[in-house]
Structure 1
Amino acid sequence: MDNPFPPVPGSSAGIRLLGLTGAPGVGKSTYAAALAAEHGLAVVPMDGFHYADVELARRGLLDRKGAPDTFDAEGYAVLLRRVRRCEPAVVAPAFDRDLEQALAGAIAVPATGTVVTEGNYLLLDEPRWRAVRAEVDEVWHLHVDDDLRRERLVARHVRHGKSPAEARAWVAHVDEPNARLVETVAARADRVLDLTARA
């Protein structure tokens, strides 16, 4: 496992924020969980900042859930800023894949050490996402073979209730455009890790 703790110039005295990014299905959550288990870290997922389905429906975005504009990026940046300031009692939202909804107040975040945050759009060059990136000390972009990544996505959607045909259609029309967008900004990462051999 790569060491997530090298010194970063300009990082907060008590907190270091390590970001993991990459296309949908690349294994961000799995890799973050492995880092957390090995080093005793808290993980703050971007997916906790999904807008609720009722709000996505109100905005006409429910059929694009997972695209950049279906997240509360501003709220995400504010929470990361609180973490960087070493505020006590910061509690982050999680995301329940069975419910397909965010769960408020689910992850207690310590006021010292390294905290991992993971999500697709940490490097996106848009004002609301640049505000997120500004709070993260270092970002690693994760990559796996595209065929493997798409197979994982289809399997994930089937596990959570879609038919195989519905899952393949969602991957083709929603996940893959998001994946291409994420890859266009991969060069902005501090490190690129190819996890194909670990799959």
Structure 2
Amino acid sequence: MVARNDSAAASKREDILAGARRCFATYGYDGATVARLEEATGKSRGAIFHHFDNKEALFLAVAHRDMHKMSSLAAEDGLIGAIRSLVDSDDLKDWWGMRVEITRRVHTDPCFAAKWELDQLALRRVVRDRLQEQRAAGRLRQDVDVDTIAQVLELMLDGVLAQLSQGSSPEGIPEALDMVENTIRHQ
């Protein structure tokens, strides 16, 4: 019986995270009122705050979940592959909406910034590990330091998200990703 309750609680938590993500991406942190969070998640405030201490903890959990997904994609397909997945995803608007709000919070909330930096470091580690593997396999150019290549890829991710957050079309992004990918490949 406990396993079923744990499974139900985990499912409810995931539902809350998914709905809250849409709400934060649409309205921003400040605009995501408790009433809007209730509407977006389909859960009462009691249910939401049973799983999360407060709105800040909920936002951090949503941001952490996004970064975990990005890290998983980067570990499997590289950062360019992760960007391709993001651009092709059905919830592209939520991705960039969350990223914009995360960036805003990083600049206005030192406590959040410190916690977010831990997730950023995890992604950087994944990207650098993958690049080292690619270099060892002979698929990555040898004349540029791995950290420099990783920095270029991070700038590409930030640029794609910044462009999309300004309402630009994702058209042309796949070709730009191809160019960057070809640039870092072994010549």
Q: TM-score over 0.5 for the alignment?
A: no
Q: Which entry has the higher C-alpha Rg, 1 or 2? A: 2
With normalisation by structure 2, the TM-score equals 0.32
**Structure showing the higher helix proportion among its residues:** 2
With normalisation by structure 1, the TM-score equals 0.31
Q: Which has the higher contact order (CA 8 A, sep 6+)?
A: 1
